[in-house]
Structure 1
Amino acid sequence: MTDASSLSTDVAIIGAGPTGLFAAFECGMLKLNCVLLDALDEVGGQCAALYPEKPIYDIPAHPAIEGAALVEALDRQIAPFDVPRLLGRRVERLTGHRGDFVLGTDRGDTIRARAVIVAAGAGAFGPNRPPLAGLEGFEATGAVQYYVRRRADFAGTRIVIAGGGDSAIDWALSLKDVAEKIWLVHRRDRFRAAPESLRQLDEAVAAGLIEKIVPYQLHGLHGAAGALEGVEVATLDGDTRILPGNRLLPFFGLSTDLGPIAHWGMDSVRSTIPVVPSTCETSLPGVFAVGDVATYPGKLKLILQGFSEGAMAAHAIHPIVRPDTALHFEYSTSKGVPDRA
């Protein structure tokens, strides 16, 4: 982590998740200096903070890659450019105009940049917590968790997973090989996930590795002193049953908030920032948005699309930073990694 409190650069990248890291690489390939800023204490964004051991299946050339491994590879990719990073800092202020911005953080840092890329993912995020009595006591002991940092922590446990989306199904599939028992609870027998994940789920259910509990919803927690002894579930008709689980993983999505970014004068829609699809520029000239925080017609919230957006933003920024230098696009196979000098 860089300790400097004041610096100047070509591009300030807000967010050091996978999309922000790749945007830094694309800037480096165009000989644009940049700095990475993130409120977290490590690079990687949600991949590092929420699911470092969760396999990701839609990264080109990787049939499957864990979140932490993807972040490590992206970090190695930008190593030749020696990109400074200000971590554990929340960017609170943005002033100035296209070609001359000043950013300020909650740690008192001042960054002057010619252009800005917002790669803030979902913004500030936190889990949507189920409204269950006594929830806090079980959260405090780790009996109820919303993220999986290490699969090994769940070895031999009896896990109730609640939810019907990708996260619930992916973790049910990932943990079935280490847990003693897995119940998958959803309010209906229809799940929202990739077709291949649904096929694997059907196989795991048929093999007895996962038990589907449908149509049920979470209804209560049983145990004492933070030790979970059972999870009560109920149908819409009021029929209940208790699953003897000692871990609960509710996956009901994240609540998101753009935070200070929402007050910088850019258009926003439900915690996302509309951009011009061909450049990823926002309504604020000189400020670009890429990754999950960016929106436009036909947008897909995939990491690989964020990578493409990072490349487009870097190319759109080049004439801002180097107005007198023509950009002759070359493939990386022919130009290699440029010398920083």
Structure 2
Amino acid sequence: MSQNIQKTDVVIIGAGPTGLFSVFQCGMLGMKTHVIDALEATGGQCTALYPEKPIYDIPGFPTVAAAELIEHLEQQAAPFDPVYHLDQQVSGLERQNDETWRVTTTKNTVIDCKAVIIAAGAGAFGPNRPPLDGLENFEGKSVFYLVKRREDFRDKTVVIAGGGDSAVDWAMSLPQVAKKVYVVHRRDKFRAAPESVARMRALAETDKVEMVVPYQLHGLKGTDGKLSSVIVKDLQGNERALKADILLPFYGLATNLGPIADWGFELERNHILVNQATCETKQPGIYAIGDVATYENKLKLILCGFSEAAMAAHAIHPRVFPDQELHFQYSTSQGVPGE
């Protein structure tokens, strides 16, 4: 059976902020793109983990919600007609010749391209699940590992478990809509920003938030996926039942590079080493940007990933158009298609 092989100029692995901005940068240089992501929607961790969380260090936005940032990036990329291949992971990357790479996915999508930009963030990721009997019966119904819409928790009694930024951030935000919020942590010291912890403790002086420390999750009670209570236990083995509608366990992410680790890149602590000037890896024609890439004095900031997207696109242009000289132009003078 013959393969249906699609062709494009650049394949972008990862549809997070840097991947989406790569579409724009490549498009401004006349290059067509296909974008592949393991998640069902664009946005990467901004969509999957903290869509309503404010981001303060995006130029031009004093504050912007993560989901709103993704919406703007999609609009910015739209004039260049990117082709999205979502809910599938890249499973193969093979050099066809000096000019072409072949990318295959877990859904048997096959794409030939002149260059690849890896914007995979931390790699494939999923939540660290608490070891609770019957947990899978409640997942997606009353146990969630991310908050897509705060409004979904209006008038609910919510148990938040964890001591990091996500737990503390939502412990401050959800009381605005929830009936009551419990915060369960195994110790009184939290790993989040001190200012945020102080604000959460101030909320705990009200009847909207209750600190349940030092306790750990121990069990779940309910029927047909609907929680009735969350059982917690302290270090002495004393149990307590918290009446609850929702459990949000925020124990971080389990991440790995997946097949990317086997593609012959030079790795440093599970990150891909790149040429800082071009973002090219040791594999000619393969580039890495954003959190997955590393070099001396690397800063893991979204705005740095945006800069790397621009540098990679300009470095790729001669591969896609070897006979065309690239004349640098500002977007204000060049314009955008359709404007």
TM range (shorter): 0.7 to 0.9
Greater displacement, 145-154 / 86-95 = 86-95
Change over 3 Å in CA distance of 1:224–1:91 after alignment to 2: closer
Per the TM alignment, residue 128 of structure 1 is displaced from its structure 2 partner at its CA by 0.6
**Residue 302 of structure 2 corresponds to which residue in structure 1?**
303
Contact 1:204 1:210 in 2 (8 A): yes
The alpha-carbon deviation at position 143 of structure 1 amounts to 2.0
Matched residue SS, 1:176: helix
Query: CA offset at residue 237 of structure 1?
Result: 4.0
Contact 1:98-1:115 at 8 Å conserved across structures: no
The one-letter amino acid paired with 2:117 is I
1:201 positional shift: 2.5
What is residue 125 of structure 2 aligned with on the other side?
125
| Cα shift at 1:239 | 4.1
1:60 maps to 2:59: yes
% of aligned pairs identical? Answer: 57
Q: How many residues are treated as equivalent by the alignment?
A: 336
Mapping 1:181-196, distance limit 5 Å: 181-194=180-193, 196=195
1:110 corresponds in structure 2 to 110
Contact 2:102 2:113 in 1 (8 A): yes
Q: CA deviation at 1:224?
A: 4.3
**Higher mean displacement: 175-184 or 81-90:** 81-90
- Show the counterpart of 1:157: 156
CA contact under 8 A between 1:54 and 1:174: conserved in structure 2? no
Contact 1:5 1:108 survives alignment (8 Å): no
Give distance in 2, aligned partners of 1:251 and 1:274.
Answer: 30
Which shifted more, 73-82 or 104-113?
Answer: 104-113
Structure 2 match to 1:10: 9
User: Displacement of 1:177 after TM fit?
Assistant: 0.7
Q: What secondary structure, in the 3-state scheme, does the structure 2 residue paired with 1:25 have?
A: helix
RMSD of the alignment, in Å?
2.7
Q: Which runs of 5+ in 2 are unaligned?
A: none
In structure 1, C-alpha distance between the alignment counterparts of 2:250 and 2:98, rounded to whole Å: 40
Conserved 8 A contact 2:180-2:207 = no
Deviation at 1:159, TM superposition (A): 0.9
Shift of 1:229: 2.6
* 1:101 match: 101
Name the counterpart of 1:83. 82
Answer whether contact 2:159 2:181 (CA < 8 A) is retained.
Answer: yes
Moved more, 164-173 or 192-201: 192-201
Q: Is the 8 A contact 1:98 1:114 kept in 2?
A: no
Determine the structure 2 residue equivalent to 1:169: 168
Offset from partner CA, 1:156-183 (integer Å, 9 cap, x none): 1111111111211222222111111111
Q: Residues 111 and 227 (structure 1 numbering): CA distance in 2 closer, same or farther, change over 3 Å?
A: closer
The runs of 5 or more residues in structure 1 that have no matched partner are none
Change (3 A) 1:27 1:48: same
Alpha-carbon distance in 2 for matches of 1:310, 1:36: 14
State the alpha-carbon separation in 1 of the partners of residues 229 and 313 from structure 2.
Answer: 52
